[in-house]
Chains A and B, each alone.
Chain A
Amino acid sequence: MFTQNLAPVSLIDSVVFGDHDWLENSVEWQADLRLELVREAFAHHLASCPQYASFADRKGVTAEHIQTVDDLVRIPQLPTSVFKRQRVLSVPPDEIVMNFTSSGTSGTKSVIHRDGVTLHRLCGMMRSDSPLFGNYLDGMDETNSTIINLGPSRSDSGNVWFSYVMSLLEQMAPMQSYVVGSDLLLKEAVDDVRRSLVEMDKVFVVGPPFLVSDFCQEVIGAGAPLEGGDSLFVFTGGGWKNRESERMDRHEFNKVVGEALSLADPLQIRDVFNQVELNTLLVECEHHRKHVPPWVHAFTRDPVTFEPLPDGEAGVLCFSDATAKSYPCFLVGDDVARVLSGVCDCGRPGVTMELVRRLRGSSHAGCAETIRSTVQAD
């Protein structure tokens, strides 16, 4: 009789894929876990990415400097522009599965190289029982739900991160995608939603808010009401981009969408934050705050002095994401936001983030821009 042992699973994987609901734990418990996970990731990238190690060396920061939660802000962070100029890798090149790009409305695009582990971790978050989604997806499964994607299918999304991420929702339930080539097939999408509402318990419409807005206009224009009731859900991401002039504030957006689709509750509309450099989805709760899971350290910096800002103060949004294995996801972002630690109005403890606006002068307008610039509603 022989016995053998397999290598242990890492802490980050046990958290991402485990069934433990971290939102049931205190803010302090989550902070301690965050320290452990982000510090472990920092050590990995120092050891595996020579460019990042050199950068950290110039900043004079080593893994030993990260001893407490407050030390996490010391981890050297890369501006997203680095990913436009250099190939930044923390794994051997032959482990890279896909190279993802942002759209970049001007100049060069960011390119993020992801390996299987990094992508698996992203996929691992995208399950209906993940605490990441709060209770938004309760009761959703692949037999009773369908997803109408106002974007391209995964095979058509190429290397554009936002489209790829949205298409990954297909692992939770069957999905139909309604951007084909450069056409958004609005009428077909509306017809599919009508059909699906008869056949399925839950129907999800996903896409950037400007296409959801177009979808609602198509419904209104058709003259036949669409009775979404408590079965239709709207999941947005990616922002308004070059249709900024049409931007509605959140209250107005919910009102327009809720009325057009006859939703029983505006809480059926949720938004998600992500960008090509970030490997985690930050999903909105019932109170429209985006919850930050314990493997991500989010905080803000003063835009002039670059000093870390206290809780709740608007500044440049910065992330350290421990789920990225193939590249150092220690980022100075392109958004102005507020980050708060404590118990959210939804009752869940932890860190939440509220976007204020894009940084002025940012050349990186986000991946939804690619969809916007290629799609023509038929």
Chain B
Amino acid sequence: MKTERLDAWTSEGRRVAVWRSAPEDFAPDAPIVVMSPGFARRMRDVGSIALCLVGNGAIVYRFDSIDHIGLSDGDIRNFTLTGMRQSMIAAIELARATENRRGVRLVAMSLANLAAYQVAAEDKDIERIMALSGVVDGHRTITEVTGRDYLSMAREELPAILPVMGHDVDPVPLWTDSRETRCLSYERTIRSLKAISAPVANCVAEGDPWVDVGECTTAYTDGDGGERLVIKLPYSGHDLGRNPVAVMTILERMASLAIGNGPMHDADPQAVLMPTFDAVLEARIAERQQDFSEQRAAKTEGSPAV
């Protein structure tokens, strides 16, 4: 897998760091996949998925969101879902401009699933959406993660800093974003899903404390704008990347959905070529080095990327 660093720009002129990974040779109609890691995860954390997709002929664009950890502008302290959505749009437009094609598929992890739905609701050239532990009710998930319903509080009640998954977040930008755009609400998810005619799938662990399988099933029933598929994973936890044996099973299924062209529920996981153990390990270590070296370069340039 060959990975190159590119820059995309949001409509407000902020830089989004993008990694483009492609096979040495690819077909003219190779699927273009834009992939977003979830909250508190970097694009290098989804390297094994990129490796698998590229190994099966796809061209993969990954990005770190603005106002987040990773190589893009801003700090996670100021995280908003709108920032994640703007970053996704920037990466999609970069992919289209680079590959000179409109059709793009989205792979989203966790909270990035909400951004994917909101983008696809307004972009008819999104061909399909696959999520892993995809959040459908952002308000409820954030309440579960933080232990309190901060989004329902009055602004003056908010703490100065909210620790979220090991990171200090200023709750005001997130709270304001949520109030102004309703981007974290379940109702917004349903509205988006109704507007998406492309196939949509979500792999959710039955023991996920932050995303409820039943909630996802209901959302897909209520937001039945096209084919909807829920894949139940008999695992516990939200961070499924921790179990590489489970990841290989999920990868096989996700890759078959991401690169396939027929109905998602008919996708054949057996047709997927899986990356070798060593290839996954090598890619993980190589991408960590690439990430660190880009961080060092950004510091030298005086960029705010962290």
Binding site for B on A (CB under 8 A): 1-10, 13-14, 17-19, 97-98, 116-117, 119-121, 123-124, 142, 154, 168, 170-171, 174
Closest partner residue, chain B, to A5 (CB atom): B232
**Residues of chain B contacted by A123 (CB below 8 angstroms):** 244, 281
Closest partner residue, chain A, to B250 (CB atom): A6
List 4 tightest A-B contacts by C-beta distance, closest first. Answer: A17-B243, A8-B234, A2-B265, A116-B277
The prevalent SS among residues of A at the interface is mixed
**Residues of chain B contacted by A3 (CB below 8 angstroms):** 217, 229-232
Assess whether B244 is in contact with A1, with CB atoms less than 8 Å apart.
no
**Can you list 25 pairs linking A and B with CB atoms under 8 Å apart?**
A1-B230, A2-B227, A2-B265, A3-B232, A5-B234, A6-B231, A6-B233, A6-B249, A7-B249, A9-B235, A9-B245, A13-B243, A17-B245, A18-B243, A97-B276, A98-B278, A116-B276, A116-B277, A117-B245, A120-B248, A120-B277, A123-B244, A124-B243, A168-B281, A171-B281
Assess whether A174 is in contact with B229, with CB atoms less than 8 Å apart.
no
Binding site for A on B (CB under 8 A): 203, 217, 220-221, 224, 227-237, 242-246, 248-250, 253, 264-265, 276-278, 281, 284-285, 288-289, 292
* CA distance in complex: A124, B246 (Å): 12
Assess whether A174 is in contact with B289, with CB atoms less than 8 Å apart.
yes
**Residues of chain A contacted by B244 (CB below 8 angstroms):** 17, 120, 123-124
* CA distance in complex: A154, B288 (Å): 16
* CA distance in complex: A240, B22 (Å): 47
Assess whether A1 is in contact with B228, with CB atoms less than 8 Å apart.
yes
**Residues of chain A contacted by B284 (CB below 8 angstroms):** 171
Assess whether A4 is in contact with B232, with CB atoms less than 8 Å apart.
yes
Q: How far is the CB of A25 from chain B (nearest CB, A)?
A: 17
Closest partner residue, chain B, to A20 (CB atom): B236
**Residues of chain B contacted by A97 (CB below 8 angstroms):** 276-278
The prevalent SS among residues of B at the interface is helix
* CA distance in complex: A33, B154 (Å): 49
Q: Given A6-B249, A9-B235, A9-B246, verify A170-B277 contact (CB < 8 Å).
A: no
**Residues of chain A contacted by B248 (CB below 8 angstroms):** 116, 120
Closest partner residue, chain A, to B289 (CB atom): A174
* CA distance in complex: A4, B248 (Å): 17
Q: Given A13-B246, A116-B276, A123-B281, verify A4-B231 contact (CB < 8 Å).
A: yes
**Residues of chain B contacted by A9 (CB below 8 angstroms):** 234-235, 243, 245-246, 249
- In addition to A124-B245, A174-B292, 13 A-B residue pairs with Cβ atoms within 8 Å of each other are A2-B265, A3-B230, A6-B231, A9-B234, A13-B243, A17-B244, A18-B243, A97-B277, A97-B278, A116-B276, A116-B277, A119-B277, A120-B277
* CA distance in complex: A9, B248 (Å): 11
Q: Given A3-B217, A174-B292, verify A13-B245 contact (CB < 8 Å).
A: yes
Closest partner residue, chain B, to A127 (CB atom): B242
